[in-house]
Amino acid sequence: MKNTAVFINISRGDVVNQDDLYQALTSGQLAAAGLDVTTPEPLPPSHPLLTLKNCVILPHIGSATYKTRNTMALLAANNLLAGLRGETMPSELKL
């Protein structure tokens, strides 16, 4: 990667070696990073990535758009109403 690259992770925290990412950011191998996921979540306040000005960490809110939150609320409401009526929930979670 070019040293002007910006690393983005919106998948899962485990796919990134955060120690290696820290080294790449502090050595200039990467210009910056944006993380919506980490391991663990949330990172402890003493985690070195939190000290970097070239690393932005969000609390796993990448999907938090009006549309997705509205859809989640509708699914929950429809499931609740169906459950109260004794019907099969339309978005039932099968474990």
User: Could you tell me how far CA 66 lies from the centroid of its own chain?
Assistant: 17
> What are the backbone angles phi and psi of residue 30, rounded to the nearest 5°?
-125, 145
**Quick check: pTM over 0.75?**
no
Catalytic residue annotation:
60
Provide the pLDDT confidence category of residue 64 given band limits of 50, 70 and 90. Answer: confident
Instruction: Please write the tens of the pLDDT for every residue from 4-48.
Output: 999 999 999 999 999 999 999 999 999 999 999 999 999 999 999
| 57 secondary structure, DSSP code | E
